[in-house]
Amino acid sequence: MDDPDAAVPGGWNHWVVFNLPAGLRELPEDQPTFFNIFPNGSVQGRNSWGNIGYGAICPPAGENAHNYRFTLYAVNGFLALPLSSNRAETETALRGRVLDASRAARQLPEVLTSSNPM
């Protein structure tokens, strides 16, 4: 999940997950951030904070609404990546491996304050 409107080159990455099983239909809420591997074999990489797992959305106070995007790639096999991989490393591993992709996006319409994360 990323925020392309963040004021850093390449946007801000809130969550990187790779090697999700092909038949997976959902991920349970509140996934722990203290380990990389889910019981189903999916791997959480590093977000833009440098941490494992999901980092909550919270644009700087006073900024306009941001877009938040979930991008899902169907790939032709397992991505042999280190457990600590970030978005850039994951995207490099995806080159030439993507069979299809889908994106869901949501714009937060209200202006948030840094004490009001979603």
Segment 8-55, tens digit of pLDDT: 999 999 999 999 998 888 887 777 777 788 888 899 999 999 999 999
Q: How confident is the model at residue 114 (pLDDT cuts 50, 70, 90)?
A: very low
> What distance in Å separates the CA atoms of residue 19 and residue 78, rounded to the nearest whole number?
6
Inform me whether the pLDDT recorded for 109 exceeds 80: no
> What residues have CB less than 8 Å from 74, skipping those under 6 apart?
22, 98, 99, 100, 101
Which domains are seen in the chain, by residue range?
Answer: 1-113 (3.90.280.10)
Largest CA distance in the chain: 43
pTM, to two decimals: 0.83
